[in-house]
Structure 1
């Protein structure tokens, strides 16, 4: 069963929360972070993307970047921008996007649960990205990036969280520049803390990583390194836990994660359409963008026109991985026709989160940067759970969760 704990969160003064809050470090470039932080000395990008405070051209994975992050985090504390809660607490984090709300519990989860498979994964991680977060955690002595977890709904947990929101005032409530509302409550009474901890220990057999595989893996590797060095002498050491926010599955929405490809692997437009006809029914639907409306349906944008592709029977299997649209696309188009064997390393392919819309696909192709784009129907949360339960992993860039948690609102000091 899931082991979670309250913790002393490092968080901003109430009047600075909106200025501190920053999008996750891995969803924007250094240039975008620098522009977003311009004129805002409180922005958490000074910690999560600290290269913005160093000379242009600085290697973003070099030690000076991590040292600058630690320096800026200390400055935020010294100046009073951030403070450490005097007692351990849970935190309720509600996000509202386009009138749809999702509410999660901010806590620390046991790294032993991650290592033992109680916290389930659905993606491989890359050593270079792990090393980046390892260095950031070890240098700052903090977990600044939140791992987004999901669990099958427990009515008693949902009811307790709803009741706390109704009976208590939030410590933060603001709408960010992208229109997403962020509201946070502190749960600090002993009875509520004990109830939440017990409910997860009794009724939540597993949690699932929705977003943040590299952050979770890095926290585990840091804990292992510190333990080997003899720096962890108690099971209560904060490094034995990592920062998570856990959401009930019923409240979550997964967006599509689409692909753009630089060339047609030597094929003409006509040859590509002919090859596609073996495994898909192909329909020219004109110049207007068309979002896929069901599983196994794809939209392709090529030379100014959209095509509807529907996978024929026999092009996929019914196992948890084989039935995924990302698998169908990967096996029957990207690999079989376009010669892209490894989407993690092939420089001919790029990925576009569904939050950017189909217009971004058109832009990338019409600019000449890319030759063809593919839009997919989103993976369902149940598909994600089924794959994680089976011990399998999804193809890369299969899911895009939105809205995303903001960095800087709650940090875990280790």
Structure 2
């Protein structure tokens, strides 16, 4: 039974929240980061990029310590405050496309992660896990929640709706045109009911943030070993999460782009494809797949539909039925010679929000030779992969919502 608890968030004052909240650091171009750091002294990027103060690139442990210093300065300057009582933070996002996401920011248990009550569907890289663990250990806080999803629950939906009918603690719109609303809830009746509802669930699932959750679990184990008086209720035993119902998740596909045909001519490539796919030339008409195990392909100025020949492909588990896995095992690896889909520089990814129009443009500009379009992975597929203890190929899902960093902060 998952343990999902309220916590005392460190968060910006109401007058500063819109200035402070930022997207994830990597989502900004260097020019965007430079502009925000130069023009906005309250941006959370000032904490994440402490070297800007000295006009110097700083990395490694020195950067971690300076991040901690900047964070402490924001607290000393009363840009941040901390709630006196543990709260659940009800969070609503209405994005620029008009999609609405309603969920709860809370503390999830690292022990539940280890015991598979928080289920995973993606593999993690040990180097990244350990690097982020050391970062967390030095800075002492987590400002970016792991996105968790739970089965639709009418009673929780009703509680969220009742709270969101009241005035929000925060309401702000970003330059990205997303509007964010936050309610801090310390009412004991609501808190106890929510804890009970989550405890009744068999499991919750990671939608986005596998490395963050894994690093938090490593940190918990590390600090537990160092603490002779460990009790189990210390803040380091938990990590910040944003929990939303399954029906609120928006999952986009990642389309694939490949720089060359692995030494094959166009005709040779199509002949090899024919062994596993029924191929139809769609000409210049835009084509997107409409069924599982169907793919679109853009090659040499034309769209193609690829229909998997099911008599030639056997599905024994959830992973083998996943389109990203099928594309890899039938095309990318055997025909195009791409073994390492995580690191091969001949392969690139474009999230489905850019769609096949973007893929077409990249191929037409001769940046890539061929592009492949997929359908999004469903929530059911994602859960089945996790339930069977399997892991998806990299870049199988692009998931919304995306929370802003710095709106709620969890301290260890």
Scaled by the length of structure 2, what TM-score is found? 0.94
Counterpart in the other structure of 1:286:
283
Distance 2:303 2:220 in 1: 49
* Match 2:93 to one of 92, 95, 105: 95
Q: CA deviation at 1:53?
A: 5.2
- 1:398/1:59 CA distance change after superposition, 3 Å: farther
CA offset at residue 52 of structure 1? 5.3
Query: 1:320-331 maps to which residues of 2 (within 5 A)?
Result: 320-331=318-329
2:143 corresponds to? 144
Tell me by how many angstroms 1:32 deviates: 4.7
Cα displacement string for residues 350-407 of structure 1 (whole angstroms, at most 9, x for unaligned residues): 2222223333323433333322221210000011011111111111111111231111
Structure 2 unaligned spans of 5+ = none
SS at match of 2:16: helix
Equivalent-residue separation in structure 2 for 1:376 and 1:8 (angstroms): 42
Partners of 1:26 and 1:210 lie apart in 2 by 19
Identify the residue that residue 184 of structure 1 maps to in structure 2: 182
SS at match of 1:113: helix
Partner of 2:306: 309
Contact 1:210 1:401 in 2 (8 A): yes
Are the aligned partners of 2:280 and 2:305 in contact in 1 as well (CA < 8 Å)? yes
RMSD: 2.0
My pick for the range that moved more, 208-217 or 342-351, is 342-351
What corresponds to 2:77 in structure 1? Answer: 79
Alignment correspondent of 2:294: 297
Gap regions ≥5 residues in structure 1:
none
Residue 380 (structure 2) pairs with residue 370 (structure 1): no
Given that residues 249 and 381 in structure 1 are in contact (C-alpha distance below 8 angstroms), is that contact kept between their aligned partners in structure 2?
yes
Q: Deviations over 1:288-319 (max 9, x none)?
A: 54332221121222233222222121335152
Q: CA deviation at 1:54?
A: 6.0
Matches of 2:295 and 2:50 in 1, distance apart? 39
Q: Which of 264, 270, 276 is residue 261 of structure 2 equivalent to?
A: 264
Q: Given the superposition, is the C-alpha separation of residues 172 and 291 from structure 1 closer, same or farther in structure 2, using an over 3 Å criterion?
A: farther
Q: Deviations over 1:41-71 (max 9, x none)?
A: 2222233455655656x465x2222222212
| Deviation at residue 325 of structure 1 after TM alignment | 0.6
Distance, in Å, in 1 between the alignment partners of 2:364 and 2:73 is 46
Query: Does 2:265 align with 1:235?
Result: no
Deviations 1:168-215 (A, max 9, x none): 21111222222222111111111111111111112x110000000000
After alignment, is 130-139 or 187-196 more displaced? 130-139
Q: Distance in 1 between matches of 2:286 and 2:358?
A: 11
**Distance between the aligned counterparts of 1:76 and 1:10, measured in 2?**
11
Q: TM-score when scaled to structure 1?
A: 0.93
Q: CA deviation at 1:93?
A: 1.0
Q: Is contact 2:249-2:401 (8 Å) kept? A: no
| 1:22–1:79 distance in 2 versus 1, CA, 3 Å | same
**Aligned residues of 2:144 and 2:403 also touching (Cα < 8 A):** no
Look up the match of 2:9. 9
Consecutive aligned runs of 4 or more in structure 1 exceeding 6 Å deviation? none
Distance 1:356 1:66 in 2: 34
The equivalent of 2:405 in structure 1 is 407
- Distance change (3 Å), C-alpha of 1:29 and 1:230: farther
- Structure-2 change in CA distance of 1:137 and 1:187 (3 Å): same
